[in-house]
């Protein structure tokens, strides 16, 4: 294992022109938006930001679509695996289990909506996905819903809550000023883990899972992903530059290389996903805190744990062996940090001081 320290220009378009010519408690008060008194549940601790909130507003760009031009799914319906005819085993899904109920959200559908306002075990949540940064994160939404603002920062989806119209960049998961709410209180959302895996892997682990239906209320051709494809990987997802210039350039890895990233008030850390897959277990530092990354072959995903005592763990056949015996990949007796897949350029752009390991 190697520890690495941290460290696009616009293409000429003349020719084109020629042809054309974490924790939880308090909430963000309502008052604007939909006129409700709904609150967005906020985390105990604020997540790190790469710059001042006002600067993030300045760095936001229009992605093209209008506000809600990408419609969130606000009345989702679900079907049984036996009714799923539109997914191949290798197609990506974002899975979550709460109170014994498993749900899978197909990437094919989320590519067209980016946000699903749903409930998990009676809790109002939003399942979110940004195609341009390859990130899927779950948030508690309280009594309101999230929508797609049409703006991006560092190519990342900027959500807005419909109670206060506050901007919430998805990866940062923290309120920033925007045109509809210029002075929101800077606070972070309560998050939950979505597992980015494949339909075949998820169904094998959760045969009774519910799957987001194509009956979304929006007549969309979910067979067509405007960005490319993941099965096999092609188009935007396969490589090349991000669509918009990232906040910062970092060419240590290809822009679309996938990392398992974790950020917390003390800092940020990333593990190259293919390295983690190969090694099974990697160690690193989150700020000054030693961490342990574990690959879960069931889902081909990873988890990052705070490991302050630097206890030794090793992957064995289907388990992780540590000082207290064997554990499931996602149930080590350590403090787990919210971890998710992200494209390298997005992670490096938002967390320039991140540690990254391979």
**Helix, strand or coil for residue 228?**
strand
* DSSP 3-state of 14: helix
Residues 163-222 close enough to bind another protein by CB under 8 A: 215, 217-222
Q: Choose between 120 and 243: whose C-beta lies nearer to another protein.
A: 243
Q: Which is nearer to another protein, 213 or 285 (CB)?
A: 213
**C-alpha torsion sign, points 260, 104, 69, 13:** positive
Q: Cα torsion for 303, 309, 312, 313, to the nearest 10°? A: -20
Tokens found for residue 29: 């008060």
How many residues bind another protein (CB under 8 A)? The answer is 51
Six token digits for residue 174: 């923290």
Nearest to 138 by CA among 150, 151, 121: 121
Q: Which residue has the tokens 């959200």?
A: 105
Identified binder of another protein from the candidate list 2, 5, 11, 309, rule CB under 8 A: 11
Nearest-approach distance from CB 219 to another protein, in angstroms: 4
The total number of residues shown for the chain amounts to: 358
Query: What percent of the residues of the chain are helix, what percent strand, and what percent coil, each to the nearest 5?
Result: 15, 35, 50
Q: What is the per-residue binding string for another protein in 119-158, x denoting contact by CB under 8 A? A: ------------xx-----------------x-x--x-x-
Span interacting with another protein, options 26-34, 193-201, 228-236, 330-338, rule CB under 8 A? 228-236
Alpha carbons 50 and 169: distance in angstroms, whole number: 12
Give the shortest CB-199-to-another protein separation in angstroms.
Answer: 14
Build a one-symbol-per-residue string for 290-329: x at contacts with another protein by CB under 8 A, - elsewhere.
Answer: ----------------------------------------
Considering only 9-17, 139-147, 200-208, 329-337, which stretch makes contact with another protein by CB under 8 A?
Answer: 9-17
Structure tokens at 245: 């210039």
Binder to another protein among 227, 231, 250, 277 (CB under 8 A)? 227
> 185 in helix, strand or coil?
coil
State phi, psi for 62 to the nearest 5 degrees: -75, 130
Q: Which is nearer to another protein, 112 or 263 (CB)?
A: 112
Pick the stretch among 8-16, 34-42, 99-107, 161-169 that binds another protein (CB under 8 A). Answer: 8-16
**Stretch of 69-77, 200-208, 282-290, 337-345 lying at the interface with another protein (CB under 8 A):** 69-77
- Contacting residues for 288 by C-beta, under 8 A, at least 6 apart: 266, 267
* Residues of the shown chain interacting with another protein in the complex, contacts defined by CB under 8 A: 8-11, 13, 16-17, 19-21, 61-66, 69-71, 75, 85-86, 111-112, 114, 131-132, 150, 152, 155, 157, 215, 217-224, 226-228, 235-236, 240-245
């Amino acid at each position: 294992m190697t520890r690495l320290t941290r460290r696009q220009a616009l293409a000429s378009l003349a020719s084109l022109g020629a042809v054309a010519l974490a924790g939880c408690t308090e909430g963000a008060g309502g008052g604007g938006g939909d006129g409700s008194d709904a609150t967005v549940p906020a985390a105990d601790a604020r997540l790190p930001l790469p710059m001042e909130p006002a600067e993030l507003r300045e760095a936001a760009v229009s992605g093209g679509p209008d506000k809600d031009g990408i419609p969130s799914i606000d009345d989702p319906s679900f079907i049984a695996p036996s009714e799923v005819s539109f997914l191949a085993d290798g197609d990506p899904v974002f899975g979550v289990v709460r109170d014994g109920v498993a749900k899978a959200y197909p990437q094919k559908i989320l590519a067209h909506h980016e946000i699903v306002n749903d409930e998990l075990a009676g809790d109002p949540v939003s399942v979110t996905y940004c195609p341009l940064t390859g990130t899927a994160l779950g948030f508690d939404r309280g009594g309101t819903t999230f929508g797609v603002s049409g703006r991006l920062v560092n190519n990342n989806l900027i959500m807005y809550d419909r109670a206060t119209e506050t901007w919430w960049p998805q990866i940062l998961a923290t309120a920033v000023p925007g045109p509809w709410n210029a002075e929101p209180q800077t606070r972070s959302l309560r998050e939950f883990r979505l597992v980015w895996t494949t339909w075949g892997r998820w169904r094998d682990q959760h045969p009774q899972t519910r799957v987001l239906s194509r009956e979304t209320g929006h007549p969309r051709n979910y067979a067509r992903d405007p960005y490319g494809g993941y099965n096999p990987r092609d188009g935007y997802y396969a490589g090349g530059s991000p669509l918009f210039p990232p906040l910062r350039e970092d060419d240590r890895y290809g822009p679309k290389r996938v990392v398992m990233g974790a950020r917390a008030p003390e800092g940020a850390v990333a593990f190259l996903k293919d390295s983690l897959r190969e090694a099974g277990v990697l160690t690193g530092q989150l700020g000054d805190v030693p961490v342990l990354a574990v690959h879960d072959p069931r889902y081909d995903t990873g988890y990052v744990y705070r490991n302050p005592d630097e206890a030794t763990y090793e992957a064995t056949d289907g388990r992780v062996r540590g000082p207290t015996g064997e554990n499931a990949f996602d149930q080590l007796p350590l403090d787990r940090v919210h971890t998710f897949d992200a494209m390298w350029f997005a992670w490096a752009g938002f967390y320039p001081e991140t540690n990254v390991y391979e």
